Amino acid sequence: MTDEFAPYRRIAGGISFTDVGEGPVTLFVHGVFTNGRLWRNCVQLLSDHRRCISVDLPGHGHTPPVGEPSVWGLADAVDTVIRELDLREVHLVGNDTGGAVAQIVLTRDPQRFASLTLTNCDTEGNFPPPAFRPAVWAAKSRLLRAGAPLAKRAKLGKQIYRTGYQDVSAVPDDVITDYLTPILGSREGVRFMTTLLSSMKPTLLAPIRPLLSSCEVPTAIVWGTGDIFFRRSWADWLVDLIPGATDVVEVPGARLFFPDERARELVDALEAHWRLGQADTRG
């Protein structure tokens, strides 16, 4: 697998991540069918003044399929990195399934976090979203193993990302290959993803709702409005649920994986959020 930040790759408790730059800690969490490279353009923009840690969740990127294949197991992996590195005052950022993971991680030990940012992501009641349910059905029907050719042919593999990107043709072929190879390229990867997707249900995140509803951690909701998976109404749901959340920052027309192709707009929103948090602290 290729890696822009190979010299900065580390392992903590069996979980692979990149650790780039110095400054306030920003921890990025991706969703299913991607890996830490989703954040590569954000890291390029931020790492001259922030410490950017991008985790590869189990069964994705450089992390093997370890632990429980569920959103709770993915949260355990992020917790492992945080605790092994003893990270504090963390600015947590999550996208897609990684947003659900970030919600869980935050509620386990909110004192460790300086802020939370959620982009288009799963929530209670929309996990998985209707547009993603065919993938869940395919997993339950044991059809993922038939996707192995996608991991070897980037142009073919790009077809499954067309709904998540505005212009998937602009995504480097090696990024698509790196997304798919760990998931579809081995029996272990397919088995892990099959179980992970099959575990998804709308009520899965219900146990953390009371914790989120009392969470005062400053929270930004940054939402692409062109996404078929996570409609704007779910962003409003998060704002209503989390006391520390501010109004929704829209990224007009952006789709699910806009942290990759529209990184500048996300970084601008992140930095505005962090500046506001600093001002509130001083005030």
Residue 147, pLDDT > 90, answer no
Provide the pLDDT for residue 142: 86
What is the SS3 assignment for 7-38? HHEEEECCEEEEEECCCCEEEEECCCCCCHHH
2-39 pLDDT, tens digit each: 689 999 999 999 999 999 999 999 999 999 999 999 99
Provide the pLDDT for residue 280: 63
Mean pLDDT to the nearest integer, 79-100: 98
Using CA atoms, how far apart are residues 87 and 278, in angstroms rounded to an integer?
A: 19
Q: Where are the domains of the chain?
A: 7-126+204-282
Provide the pLDDT for residue 148: 74
Contacts with 156 (C-beta within 8 Å, 6 or more apart), sequence order: 149, 150
Q: Which residue has the tokens 């480097």?
A: 172
Residue 164, pLDDT > 80, answer yes
In which band, very low, low, confident or very high, does the pLDDT at 139 lie, cut at 50, 70 and 90?
A: confident
Provide the pLDDT for residue 167: 97
52-68 pLDDT, tens digit each: 999 999 999 999 999 99
Residue 209 bridge partners (DSSP): none
In which band, very low, low, confident or very high, does the pLDDT at 145 lie, cut at 50, 70 and 90?
A: confident
Q: What's the whole-model pTM score?
A: 0.96
Mean pLDDT to the nearest integer, 35-45: 98
In this structure, whether the domain defined by 7-126+204-282 belongs to CATH 3.40.190.10 is answered with no
Contacts with 198 (C-beta within 8 Å, 6 or more apart), sequence order: 136, 139, 140
59 neighbors 189 (Cβ within 8 angstroms): yes
Provide the pLDDT for residue 281: 53
For the chain, give the percent of residues with pLDDT over 90. Answer: 86
